Structure 1
């Protein structure tokens, strides 16, 4: 399928997301940016996710659905990326919601700051089954804060809700296929190490859905993966390496200390 030109390609990959996908896609159909392209990639779902996505494709020409034959999160993201050609790429997870002006605000911010390769917006937190209340979100000036040198302290940008320049992603080889997690954090660090700048954007434009037990799904492998990316960020980007090492080691120790309690909570809830 050859997609028409667009100013921005929105990538949404999903796997068995039927419980949340419809409101996520509805928030995309409400975007005020007319020439956005919504690239949906089914990563092997066995539920009704693909049917839900196809319904949106049938009713809105901005949506296009693809199936990723070579399953995996990194592979699905790179596959989605390859389906478009817009100079800007945005990401939305299949359980999050976007403010109607999210993509319009993102494009304007990136146009104003050609020196920045990736941005991510502030977000609300919503629970299972909740919807976003945007009524109290007031129009405000877009303020970008450079966080490139702070990546050693933690992952500074939320992947869901981010906007990235396609040429910058291509320059560092897009998403790493040899990873099992932290595809976003790894990408930010590689972008920063290659000389690109990353920034947080002040307006709230994303509602992040928090699932019960979500944090308990973390594992020692996840903690170590975080530390591995942090180590590279400190090595290549940190402006305060001693302080950042303290942050990294403290967080690693805390995660392992909390792990037995987290596992007990998982068993108690029956997750």
Structure 2
């Protein structure tokens, strides 16, 4: 690639992921895309993550390392992006992996069409027992209003992160990637899914613990209330009213309420 090829920054927030961090960073560095920079943000880890991150930064000139007190993944991503120089951003959690060709293929799409806001790919979920294909729903804004279908490691322009004010720093209710994609895409922009597996989502004890904390009915109600308060116009346009607890039924329920003058 020539010198005009844009820089891509891979943002890796890390909280107690020492067991997997080096594999994740080496996966990023193994990309066939260049130029590339990798920024690790230690979010107050209490394991060996800081030492591993420091060693990786010392041994690889494309890697830099930032440490902060524990403030959550959204703030950690914002910290890393503020320190970045890339035209394009790829968030990558500290235990996940990407394929060699993912970034190159994504940047080709983004460079060709400014209307494309996000590029992602097909993915698999994996653990020590093997891999399972991750069947993601097709993207549409109407579908996004009811559920998320873009994993956190979609590639996007840093300028769009700036435009929407970054990741929400007051949001700790789980599924932060869903809130972020709504914010970025609520008013338009195309989304492209590449037709190959380029993302590997690791299932770990930490992942399951997070799901337990944010997967119950109370957390779901708080999450829906937050989204409705922040994006009322988006839900009105896509669902004819607010997002409901039974998300799939939001639009027909809102339509029925409006028919009877109760909304």
Q: Indicate whether the TM-score tops 0.5.
A: yes
Alignment of structure 1 residues 16-55 onto 2, 5 Å? 16-55=16-55
Q: 1:95 to 1:131 in 2, by over 3 A?
A: farther
8 Å contact from structure 1 (residues 121, 158) kept in 2: no
1:170 maps to 2:197 = no
Question: Are 2:172 and 1:180 equivalent residues in the alignment?
Answer: yes
Q: How far 1:11 sits from its partner (Å)?
A: 0.4
Shift in Å, 1:240: 5.7
**Which of residues 225, 233, 236 is equivalent to 2:234?**
236
Q: Provide closer, same or farther for how the CA distance between residues 6 and 41 of structure 1 changes in structure 2, counting only shifts above 3 A.
A: farther
Alignment of 1:72-91 (within 5 A): 72-91=72-91
The 1:9/1:41 distance shift into structure 2, 3 A limit, reads same
* Counterpart residue number, 1:8: 8
Does the CA-based 8 Å contact 1:153-1:248 persist in structure 2?
A: yes
Asked if 1:61 corresponds to 2:61, the answer is yes
> Does the CA contact (< 8 Å) of 1:191 and 1:197 recur in 2?
no
Structure 2 unaligned spans of 5+:
133-137, 251-263
Asked if the contact 2:146–2:248 (Cα under 8 Å) also holds between the matched residues in 1, the reply is no
The alpha carbon displacement at 1:55 in A equals: 2.3
Task: Tell me how far apart the structure 1 counterparts of residues 47 and 129 of structure 2 sit (CA, whole Å).
Answer: 21
What residue in structure 1 maps to residue 247 of structure 2? 248
Aligned mates of 1:130, 1:68 — CA distance in 2: 34
Report the CA distance between 1:89 and its aligned residue.
0.6
Q: State TM-score, norm by structure 1.
A: 0.75
RMSD: 3.0
Alpha-carbon distance in structure 2 between the residues aligned to 1:100 and 1:132: 18
Give unmatched runs, 5+ long, in structure 1: 134-144, 252-271
Once the two structures are TM-superposed, the CA of residue 35 in structure 1 deviates from its matched residue by 0.8
TM-score of the superposed pair, with normalisation by structure 2: 0.77
Q: CA deviation at 1:69?
A: 4.1
Aligned residues: 235
2:26 partner SS = helix
